Amino acid sequence: MDHRLDEEYEQLRRTVAEFAKDVIAPAIGDLYEKHEFPYTIIREMGRMGLFGLPFPEEYGGMGGDYLALGLVLEELARVDSSVAITLEAAVSLGAMPIYRFGTEEQKQTWLPKLTSGEMLGAFGLTEPGGGSDAGATRTTARLDEATGEWVINGGKCFITNSGTDITGFVTVTAVTGTKGGGGKEISTIIVPAGTKGFTVAPPYSKVGWNCSDTRELSFTDVRVPAENLLGERGRGYAQFLSILDEGRVAIAALATGLAQGCVDESVRYAGEREAFGRPIGANQAIAFKLADMELRAHNSRLGWRHAASLLVHGEGFKKEAALAKLYSSESAVDNARDATQIHGGYGFMNEFPVARFWRDAKILEIGEGTSEVQRMLIARELGLPR
């Protein structure tokens, strides 16, 4: 088995690595402390074609795949996770549902602007009382037969890319009826930005991801055309679960980048910082800690690339995606903690990248399926009884 990247993939990885080092790294610290969305950086990423990587050229995409997307996310997160999660959410949660389940008209309407980075899309799933229980959706959508419009009422929370100046729409899950067995019929509906009754709250004050846009949304008698239904009515929850499986591969790549970034910064610091007459990297306690950090990053990379390979080749990847997401996210948290410890007091100062990594890491064990949910999915895939 050859794990080496083809030249095309390797060239993409190198190009994004240089972009992250030369463009993102010098600017992101100041933007992060000001909690500012990195519009200039996002525009440059759009010109590079990063938002269109896994989409066909007919929709303005680059004709790539999830392996290409993962390579980009890893290299971005190696320097900053806010920028990486903006891309990940824009592709996996914003554009991918349109591509996977949209009508040809919906694809032609939205995808060209999404794949160019001119517009961001968001996915509204999580609700204040739901959390990991996505099936507990309370937002409702009633089809007004007289006007041919969906009437939406409810609210969503923790929605990424939902309130930027370039956000074009949010796809929301809503209860649209009752199934034969009495359960909820959940569908997904596209709500364009600026629609009357659609309110976007101010950005959250967050522990990390300070350059990422995250908001609470509310819908009060929001009316959109019936044709804004995305995919099959009543299949919204199932559609979301399939999108989430793919997204976990992307999040695993992002987490791997953060874990590797912690290694990069700590190796550099351990070689320069001297204590008791020698570099601290010469001390076995530091050296072994760094070896463990590299081990986590290495294994995380193998995990997400394996899951991505299965996805790209059309094979089952649900368990592998959960394994990759679980291991890489926990590795990111462990590496961020160890990197901060290696840096000592400087690791607690925001001018050092590891302080930003430490603040950004924890959400990786929560977003797009908590670690507990990943363990549940893995256990189910092993055939254990529910």
18 plus 28 within the same structural domain: yes
What's the pLDDT tens digit per position in 155-192? Answer: 999 999 999 999 999 999 999 999 877 789 999 999 99
252 plus 372 within the same structural domain: yes
Task: Say what percent of the chain tops pLDDT 70.
Answer: 98
* Sign of the torsion formed by the C-alpha atoms of 76, 82, 83 and 85: positive
Structurally, the chain folds into a number of domains equal to 3
State the pLDDT at residue 179.
85
Provide Rg for the chain, Cα atoms.
21
φ, ψ at 177 (rounded to 5°)? 165, -165
- Mean pLDDT throughout 50-62? 96
Q: Specify the length of the chain in residues.
A: 386
Query: Of 120, 143, 178, which residue constitutes the final position of a domain?
Result: 120
Position with higher pLDDT, 68 vs 5: 68
Contact 58/51 with Cβ under 8 angstroms? no
If we measure between CA atoms, which residue out of 161, 368, 342, 377 comes closest to residue 269? Answer: 342
Question: In whole numbers, what is the pLDDT of the chain averaged over residues?
Answer: 95
274 plus 338 within the same structural domain: yes
Instruction: Give CA–CA dist 79/32, Å, rounded.
Output: 12
Any idea of the CA torsion for 323, 367, 141, 204, to the nearest 10 degrees?
-170
Q: Which residues of 83-114 are buried (b: 16+ CB within 10 A; e: fewer)?
A: bbbbbbbbbbbbbbbbbebbeeebbebbbbbb
Three-state secondary structure of 33-90: HHCCCCHHHHHHHHHCCHHHCCCCHHHCCCCCCHHHHHHHHHHHHCCCHHHHHHHHHH
Is residue 277 over pLDDT 90? yes
191 plus 325 within the same structural domain: no
What's the pLDDT tens digit per position in 348-374? Answer: 999 899 999 999 999 999 998 999 999
**Exposure on the CB side of residue 42, measured as CA atoms within 13 A:** 29
One-letter amino acid identity for 256?
Answer: T
The answer to which of 124-133, 187-196, 288-297, 313-322 has the lowest mean pLDDT is 124-133
Strand partners, 170: 122, 191
Query: Of 120, 154, 180, which residue constitutes the final position of a domain?
Result: 120
255 plus 134 within the same structural domain: no
Q: Tell whether 316 is covered by a domain.
A: yes
Residues spanned by the domain of 50: 7-120
What's the pLDDT tens digit per position in 218-243? Answer: 999 999 999 999 999 999 988 988 89
Q: Tell whether 1 is covered by a domain.
A: no
Q: Tell whether 386 is covered by a domain.
A: no
Q: Tell whether 308 is covered by a domain.
A: yes
136 plus 116 within the same structural domain: no
230 plus 131 within the same structural domain: yes
Strand partners, 218: 155, 199
Is residue 375 over pLDDT 80? yes
State the pLDDT at residue 386.
84
Under the banding of pLDDT at 50, 70 and 90, the label for residue 130 is low
Instruction: Give CA–CA dist 134/119, Å, rounded.
Output: 26
Q: Tell whether 63 is covered by a domain.
A: yes
**Strand pairing report for 120-124 and 167-178:** parallel
What's the pLDDT tens digit per position in 200-221? Answer: 999 999 999 999 999 999 999 9
Active site residue 7: no
The enclosing domain of 29 has a CATH number of 1.10.540.10
Instruction: Give CA–CA dist 320/228, Å, rounded.
Output: 33
* Sign of the torsion formed by the C-alpha atoms of 256, 258, 262 and 265: positive
61 plus 111 within the same structural domain: yes
- pTM for the structure as a whole: 0.95
242 plus 343 within the same structural domain: yes
- Mean pLDDT throughout 130-149? 86
Q: Cα dist. 27→39, 41, 84 in Å?
A: 12, 9, 15
State the pLDDT at residue 330.
98
Query: Of 234, 255, 290, which residue constitutes the final position of a domain?
Result: 234
Strand partners, 160: 214
The enclosing domain of 152 has a CATH number of 2.40.110.10
212 plus 138 within the same structural domain: yes
Q: Tell whether 136 is covered by a domain.
A: yes
Q: Tell whether 127 is covered by a domain.
A: yes
21 plus 71 within the same structural domain: yes
Instruction: Give CA–CA dist 324/326, Å, rounded.
Output: 6
Q: Tell whether 2 is covered by a domain.
A: no
Q: Which residues contact 337 (CB under 8 A, 6 or more apart)?
A: 358, 361
The enclosing domain of 285 has a CATH number of 1.20.140.10
State the pLDDT at residue 3.
77
φ, ψ at 229 (rounded to 5°)? -60, 130
Instruction: Give CA–CA dist 196/13, Å, rounded.
Output: 42
- Active-site annotation holder among 75, 127, 330, 368: 368
136 plus 261 within the same structural domain: no
